[in-house]
Structure 1
């Protein structure tokens, strides 16, 4: 947002600057150079003496009056040959000089004017030019005055624009905070702007959208939570009935069916537990932070694995130090990833961890299984997604373990990614930011 307002400010300033130059050139083209007009006004007294006092003298008194003016004036007045004057002027000024007009040269603080065009003043007067020097011309002051005028105009434009932009800035900052809080899991975040605010219509729509999303997510969470709890009751009844049936049964075939039914119930019970875990991970309030030794936590994750599968070998875990996180959730995430690797590995699983230069922690789990195709690596974190359903039926699982792992890592501000392992299978990389590590 800073970039937006900076660009807007620069656009306004460039527009004012461009307008200044356009006005200057337009006035110059239509009405002549404004600087020349300013210089002519500053030299108006000397031009007035020449035109109204010296030129009004009778023919035989013209030079006498000119000398009187030279004595009392601080301006230096000389008579120079017409050819010399022509050599100092450009084409446009020559035309004005030949017509008998006063030609100003603001740069040298001087003006030129022919004595007369017909030689009536004195003999050879048509070949002489009056050259006035040291005129009281100060174009710099005039430029400063013009600059002050433009600055006042610029301020008159910028101050209302700044006040208008400030209200937009505050409103957008409030909306940005709402978006950040909402994205962080605070579904109750709202803008709550006054109807008089400039972006109130946008804030109102965002609030309505947030309320709708909060309602949908709450409904979904409540539905999953309620269904999961409701399923627990018939599951418990079925378990009790199967225990009674097992006590009354004597047929080996019936006992086999009862054992299979008990396995299905255990699977259903585990599924309900996973669904409840998923609903608890939808809120940042699920985190219960504590400080613990990360190497010991990783060792605990390994010890909790199925001893019948490949036992993960540890890479170097030196220098990991302590981590501040929810130990239970983090162990759940790492354990799910390691169980997934153990499930599909041919016989080798490796666990490694290291502290990076920026203070973050990288945890890597490798296996020598079949690996995960590149086009499927993002989908495996979706709930209930399975690469090979027939294999999952043989190995167990509901397709929720990696989804739970991703939610737990994301709650800690970290990331989990899949790549190809040097062992030939899949490599899972969990990165925890320095704030958690």
Structure 2
């Protein structure tokens, strides 16, 4: 089917190009023939008028002296009464006493079955000198040109058709190869790439673009498989914990009490709920789901986190918090700041600082700690889902590995950015940048 479609495109393209060229050639041929015909007739007319002027001097005498002796020319002197007063030998043989038509403008007529051009000039004693010039050479020239055009046009059209067919075939062949290769690429074969022709033209650019798209699809599919694997692992862990305690309680009811089992089930259930809610939030952020948009005071959110952390005994510096307002979803922005604050507490040695600074149309929220910091090569990877650095591999200490991914997703949904660098104490400093609201 695809091969037939390719041949159909090639055929339509060839036919279309041939028709266009045929119309152009026909218009050009008719125009050329018309211009050539007018040029030849004009040249014949000028030559006849020039010859007539030369003969006018010879015909000026009585009875048109010298006219009777002229050969190979059809020439008459016609009186005012329309009678032939004198004529050349050819005129007498072909016309007898029949006069040629007299007119101020050149005329064409037939003499003895031959088309001639008739020109006239007034001479003395109310007489008119009339000359008839044969147009057979003109007709033969135009007939030869018409014959050549009739032969050349079909041959030229055939050449155009063959050339177009060949060029289109060569142009479409790489496209067909790309199509065949793409048609065979499935979800399990996203590593394959289409051939890039060495032509450096639009087809090569198309192949390069297709390979770039396949690279993105391959990366997305790989990330999705990794995400599914990591999510499955994260969900399996609390489920396995619940099952192990349940089996232990069932096998040894005297060792595990109902209260201990309920406590384990409650803790792991809350953990499962948190993972599921985080995954749902990430899915909504990926889909670009619309969120509630209103004016939000970031300084209030930051001060709330300062009070919350201080209540747990954490030394939090909130002196860098200044008034700043943005537009966004207050619930998501609150979760963003809380995720960053919890991450800072998790890695700090005892000191955390939260700052809010408006500047030049943006607001910068900084949350820093005095921990070990984030290595430069890991500063992008920590925002990937289910990523925990070595020191935070423990799920009790490191969480599910979704907090920073959610934070960056919320920042991106609010047209902002989230980056990490070094804090003043050598730990990590997360910088959230959002456009200021009215």
Query: Could you state the TM-score of these two structures normalised by the residue count of structure 1?
Result: 0.43
- The structure with the greater share of residues assigned to strand is 2
